[in-house]
Amino acid sequence: LATINNNDVTLSGGNGIELTNSELVDISGNNVNLSGDNGIFVDPSIGINITGNTVAGSLNDGIHALDVIGLNISGNTVIGSGDDGIDVNNVIGANISNNDVSLSLDNGIELENGALVNISDNTVVASGNNGIDLNNAALVNVDSNTVLFSLNDGIHATNVAGASFANNTVGFSGGDGIDVDNAIAVGITDNTVFLSGNNGIELSDALLANVDGNEVYGALNDGINVNNVVGLSVDNNTVG
């Protein structure tokens, strides 16, 4: 196992730490500050572990992983990214958990083009766009995250299949608390969503969906808004 551990990297003109075409690498315990591009950047690789790093003030993404099979991003603190806090693209088999992501100018956590992904137990605060953003993803679990003060949606997902959104706490979103559209086989269950600027939970253009056991409070528009869904169950929710 190769390691990139316990380094202090400041004011890089490009990426703070860059890893390409590698296998079984641990990137841990680094302090990466004020990078001119991404704080930590990983491009096509297999079996990458990114844990326990502090990444602050990156001009682009705090952590960016592209074309990776077997990825773990956990226990990192990512602050003040100029684009996304954590951006994961074209991955198979990924865990994104227990990260603290704040003050991202775009999305706090973004997943695009991924399968078999777990996004859980993260705290995402004050994102300039969506707190957690998914696009083109299959077999995804978004569970037990705390997402607060997103300028747009707290959790936003489009073009997803086999996705579960459960046990999340989503508050003070400028748009919807949880917004899922163009989905097949999706569950939105046991979430607490409060003080959304638009709808608490919005689900549209979906096939086979379950909205169950959620608590939704103080939405400026609808508590739960469902549009153009076939095979729908909406049960045991509390809306106030």
The pLDDT tens digits for 103-122 are 999 999 999 999 999 999 99
pLDDT band at 99 (very low <50, low <70, confident <90, very high): very high
Pick the closest to residue 39 from 2, 94, 86, 95 (CA basis).
86
The answer to whether the beta carbons of residues 132 and 148 sit under 8 Å apart is: no
Q: Is pLDDT at 153 greater than 90 in this prediction?
A: yes
The answer to whether the beta carbons of residues 2 and 25 sit under 8 Å apart is: yes
pLDDT of residue 185: 98
pLDDT band at 9 (very low <50, low <70, confident <90, very high): very high
CA triplet 111, 133, 40: central angle to 5 degrees?
50
Q: Which residues pair with 105 in a beta bridge?
A: none
The answer to whether the beta carbons of residues 44 and 23 sit under 8 Å apart is: no
Give the pLDDT mean for 69-87: 98
What are 194's two structure tokens? 């409060």
User: How many residues appear in the chain?
Assistant: 240
Torsion angles phi and psi, residue 191, rounded to 5? -95, 155
Q: What pTM does this model have?
A: 0.98
Give the pLDDT mean for 135-161: 98
Q: Is pLDDT at 140 greater than 90 in this prediction?
A: yes
CA distances from 208 to 2, 216, 221, 228 (A): 44, 22, 25, 11
